[in-house]
Chain A
Amino acid sequence: MISETGLKIFYWGIYIWFIIGFITIAGPAIYELSKMFSSHSSQPKAKE
């Protein structure tokens, strides 16, 4: 049977795990998105 401290580490550890995952995707995603739209808006229109 897990101890109270063990349960606390488990609950908060999983939460921190999720934060790391979120940042790993969110950071590059925002960068890619801004890059994609800024490069697209700076391009002249190819065809009407």
Chain B
Amino acid sequence: MIKLEVNSLIGYVVMFGFGLLFLLISALISKRLPIEGVDDFLVAGRKVPFALIAAAVAVSWIWTTTIMGAAETGMWFGISGGVNYAWGAAVPFFIFIPLAMHLRKIMPKATTFTEFIEQRFGKKTKNIFFVFGTAVVFYIIVEQGVGAGIAFQSIFGIPYKLASFLAIMIVTLYIAKAGIRGSLFNDLLQFFIIAIILLTVTPIILHHFGIDFIYNGLKDVATNPNNINYNPQALSFMSTAGFRYGIAALVIAMGQVLLSQGYYSMALATVSNKSLFYAYIIAIFLVWVPIPIISSNIFGNIGLAMGLAPGHGIEFTTQVSPYVLKFVLSGYGSIIFCVLIFMTAMTTGGNCLAGVQALFTVDLYKLIKKTNVAEEKDKIHFGRIATIIFGLLAAIIATLLDGVSLLRIDIFSGILFAAPCSAFFAGVFWRKPTPRLAVFSIFLGLASGLAAWFLIDNQDINWFVGNVLSLLVPVATVVIGSLFTKNEFDFAKLKEYDPGHKVNVVEEGK
């Protein structure tokens, strides 16, 4: 078994060095481009060009699991693993893009998706979506902290609690300092670091092993029943188990995209709908989609070809990516892996925190202070404090989750967060759905998903059925229920919405 650990001092240098760099960038951005109001703080004045948004969207969707989880799918499902991971997790963006573009058009002064929900479905439904929106971000940030904690502990021997806590607090501080601009500029730097690492190590690893070795290794997995990883579909793109995983990835990702304010904040920060469209399409289709496939190929498939399996070289399949990097590049491979994981955790966490900061500054402020009329600097101050408290809570929870299976939490989260998506989507495009129907569809979806999870004895399918029901039951409920209502929501009034702070709206085409 290969020993992954390298000198812990290097780990501290990586964490504090990059942490300091990100904080410095935030400070520099705040100085060079001072925040002039709530709109500037939360959506960068709505004039960010395409490329900055595209880089930010791409890295925000690169989670620690996009590298480590996709590598595992390459071991579980062979060559189809990464492909199924990629299409499943990319599809929700093809729902999100038209949704965000339409939202910009019908409610140009909105900053958060919950502002729309309040106008469309009322305050009570807004509060339900606020809870979901905050919970999904909390869960994502905790998961990134756990991923960083595991990586720094297993490679540098840094205590898990310290590593996970620091990772979350670094990102919290730079987002609180510079708002979404701090996130966008740091994202760009992190985009270059992540891309350069992948562009460099991929040919090195492929050259080191050679296609001949990888192919013969995978062929043995596919044809030799005595192979420890025997899987007849290892060299086929038509793996049924892999396809089922793709569907589950789609459902799990749906809530994580549609309920995460960070993606709306970036969409609203874009200078125009045209830029929004190209930024998201290029970020997801051209940049993001190849990444899990590459991870699956160069880590998971090679792990299979090398005959790795739990108890055979690695303790569990999550270790396959650091193992392969260390095998090829020795200690440098471990350091590169840790930098890669740290960057993915920072970018995803940063985007989510920038989003939740918008929810706090706009919605929570209104809820707690019972007013929408205030000095903009008071709102910004409130949003910053709330975000720091939120980050601190997430950091503390992450330190308590040492040894908990992230995969199981991830699958369970799909059931929780898929349920509200249908009501939201239908509410944006259709006059018919009523507030009562929206709430009913959410709870019915949740109930059916949880019932499947807890009542189906077969552990191999209960998670799958639970996730699919949580997404599809609300779809059926909203569609059928709306056919029996006389509701005709007037979308025109959304154009007149006043958010209570100055908004820089540029009319499309001008």
Contacts and interface: CB of A to CB of B under 8 A. Distances in A.
Q: Is the interface of B mostly helix, strand, loop or mixed?
A: helix
Interface string B190-202: 0110010011001
B451 interface: no
Contacts, number: 94
A4 B199 contact: no
Given A21-B282, A24-B282, A14 B51 contact: no
Contacts of B286: 17, 20-21, 24-25
Interface in B47-67: 49-52, 54-55, 58
Contact of A25 (B33, B191, B206, B237): B191
B286 to A, nearest CB: 3
B42 interface: no
B112 interface: no
A2 B237 contact: yes
A21 to B, nearest CB: 3
Interface stretch (B89-97, B164-172, B288-296, B411-419): B288-296
Interface residues of A, number: 27
Contact of B198 (A10, A18, A40): A18
Contacts of B218: 7
Interface string A1-34: 1101001101110110111111011111101110
Contact of A14 (B32, B54, B287, B293): B293
Contacts of A29: 51-52, 54-55, 188, 191
A17 B206 contact: no
21 contacts: A2-B79, A2-B236, A4-B211, A8-B211, A10-B79, A10-B297, A11-B214, A11-B297, A12-B206, A17-B286, A17-B289, A18-B202, A21-B287, A21-B288, A25-B282, A26-B192, A29-B55, A32-B52, A33-B188, A40-B32, A40-B33
